[in-house]
């Protein structure tokens, strides 16, 4: 088995309104893309690192992440960016993790759990968290049409791990249907009828979308440091 990671970092970050692409926004004086890549550089099983950067900032991102990381330009949507990342994988790579740069504080332990599930034979793996809010489905007029059974719901994070051939096939199968927004690679694989295994995600791996999320993440940097130091001592 040979594992790679594709970190997608080519989004505009409009909802963050920081005046620059989200991946370049700083958290504790370090751009989000640099945070995100660092978790994967710390896992020896990950042999190739690919970052998908905004077209206008590929050189800047390359200088931030260093020469060991391949940087390619992003696509029009997330799915297009993942496809560009997959196209840059080395021929000998058998498994690939796909991670959103918008989750900068992903713990190394989550990356390791995804890799471990792939090693154990899973063809698709996603990190998940139990849902603490009750989730309701609403009708078009905003009234409630149903209440979902919370015990069976999970919030999905990244990195999601895949057998490379399966993910490439899934992307090819769905093509680029402008009508269909794909926010999650596992959904493409599910549609092919392939089982998707779940592993424990982490609260630290929260997704940064708004300025408020960035403030919450800033408050979590210390927790992240402590957990990393603690995990490092155990390794």
Which residues of the shown chain bind ligand C5P in the complex (CB under 6 A)? 8-11, 22-23, 52, 74-78, 81, 100-102, 209
Are 148 and 137 in contact, with CB atoms under 8 Å apart? Answer: yes
Distance of alpha carbon 102 from alpha carbon 22, whole angstroms: 7
Pairing of strands 95-100, 3-8: parallel
Least CB distance from residue 78 to ligand C5P, whole Å?
4
Q: Buried b vs exposed e over 71-86: b needs ≥16 C-beta within 10 Å?
A: bbebbebbbbbbbbbb
Closer to ligand C5P at the Cβ: 132 or 181? 181
Least CB distance from residue 71 to ligand C5P, whole Å?
12
Least CB distance from residue 234 to ligand C5P, whole Å?
29
Residue nearest to ligand C5P (CB): 11
Least CB distance from residue 75 to ligand C5P, whole Å?
6
Closer to ligand C5P at the Cβ: 99 or 224? 99
Q: For residue 32, what are the CA distances in angstroms to 135, 149, 213?
A: 30, 35, 13
Closer to ligand C5P at the Cβ: 102 or 115? 102
């Amino acid at each position: 088995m040979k594992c790679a990671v594709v970190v997608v970092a080519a989004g505009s970050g409009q909802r963050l309104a920081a005046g620059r692409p989200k991946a370049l926004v700083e958290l504790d004086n370090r751009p989000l893309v640099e945070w995100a890549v660092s978790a994967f550089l710390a896992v020896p099983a990950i042999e190739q690192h690919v970052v998908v950067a905004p077209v206008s900032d590929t050189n800047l991102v390359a200088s931030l992440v260093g020469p060991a990381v391949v940087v390619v330009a992003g696509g029009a949507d997330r799915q297009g960016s993942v496809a560009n990342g997959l196209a840059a994988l080395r021929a000998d790579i058998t498994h690939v993790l796909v991670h959103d740069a918008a989750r900068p504080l992903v713990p190394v332990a989550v990356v390791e759990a995804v890799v471990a599930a792939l090693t154990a034979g899973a063809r698709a793996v996603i990190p998940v968290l139990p849902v603490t809010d009750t989730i309701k489905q609403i009708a078009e007029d905003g009234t409630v049409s149903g209440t979902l059974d919370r015990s069976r719901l999970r919030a999905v994070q990244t990195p999601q791990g895949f057998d490379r051939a399966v993910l490439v096939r899934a992307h090819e199968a769905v093509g680029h249907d402008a009508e269909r927004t794909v926010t999650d690679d596992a959904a493409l694989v599910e549609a092919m009828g392939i089982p998707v295994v779940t592993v424990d995600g982490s609260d630290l791996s929260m997704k940064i979308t708004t300025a408020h999320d960035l403030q919450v993440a800033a408050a979590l940097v210390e927790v992240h440091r402590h957990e990393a130091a603690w995990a490092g001592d155990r390794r």
